[in-house]
Amino acid sequence: MTRIEVELLGALFLIYAYECVHWIGPEAEAFTRASASEWKRHQRGPLSFTLLNKTPLLVDPFLLLPGYIQRQSPLPLRAPERALQRVSKRLNALWLLEMQCRIQAMLLLLFLPWVIWSQRLTTIWPSLTIALVTSHLLMMVSFLFALRRYPWSRRLSIAAPFFLNPLGATRLLEVVSQVSFEEEIERG
């Protein structure tokens, strides 16, 4: 492998690691999925490791149970468990988007490094590019469909950061869970 290929792979994995780490502030709490219907609560404790007054949280790097919710005030809500259950049901119904996120992650984090390592990138890059672009477009269509409750302007503002970011788009279910949770809290 050439130096450029090694640097490309290093940057690819560092960017993905950056996408998987979320930072919890002193007054915030976060929820990650523990099972298909249960959520695990994360808060900064008195002996927690902090960096710039925030605690790092690694969120599901293997996309086994994608979903991440963060709130700024840990004040008790009327029924956060009820809202979390509704979000779980919604995420379970989005199995197609979850499968597309996994396919995209496999293309970028497993297949692309293998192609580069085996020195076949020059022969495979046209078909790999077509597969990656097709996968990304289908995933974005599914994502916009998952946000069909919202007007087009809101949908596009939520999806805009992911249109040209295929690696960040593998974490779309975290965005869906956050948006759904905020909607459930507003509904009450």
Tell me the per-residue pLDDT of 12-64, one tens digit each, with 9 for 90 and over: 999 999 999 999 988 889 999 999 999 999 988 888 888 888 999 999 999 99
Amino acid identity at 136: H
Q: Containing H/E element for 40?
A: strand 39-43
DSSP character at residue 21: E
pLDDT value at 69 more than 90: yes
Size of the chain, expressed as the number of residues it contains: 188
Looking at residue 3, its pLDDT comes to: 92
Written as six digits, the tokens of 188 are 């009450």
Q: How many Å apart are CA 43 and CA 25, to the nearest integer?
A: 9
Residue 7 pLDDT: 94
pLDDT given for residue 77 in this prediction: 62
Higher pLDDT, 138 or 72: 138
pLDDT of residue 40: 94
CA atoms within 13 A on the CB side of 61: 13
Angle of helix 172-187 versus helix 95-106 axis, rounded to 10: 150
Q: What is the pLDDT of residue 74?
A: 60
Reduced to 3 states (helix: H, G, I; strand: E, B; else coil), residue 11 is helix
Mean pLDDT of 125-147: 95
What is the rounded distance in angstroms from the CA atom of residue 119 to the CA atom of residue 28?
46
The pLDDT confidence band at residue 76, using thresholds 50, 70 and 90, is: low
What is the Cα–Cα distance from 134 to 163, expressed in whole angstroms? 12
CA distance 27 to 55: 11
pLDDT attached to residue 107: 94
Give the lowest-confidence range in 79-83, 99-103, 158-162. 79-83
Q: How confident is the model at residue 65 (pLDDT cuts 50, 70, 90)?
A: very high
User: What is the reported pLDDT for 96?
Assistant: 96
**Which residue from 170, 163, 180 is spatially nearest to 102, judged by alpha carbons?**
170
To which residue do tokens 């990304």 refer?
136
CA distance 92 to 94: 5
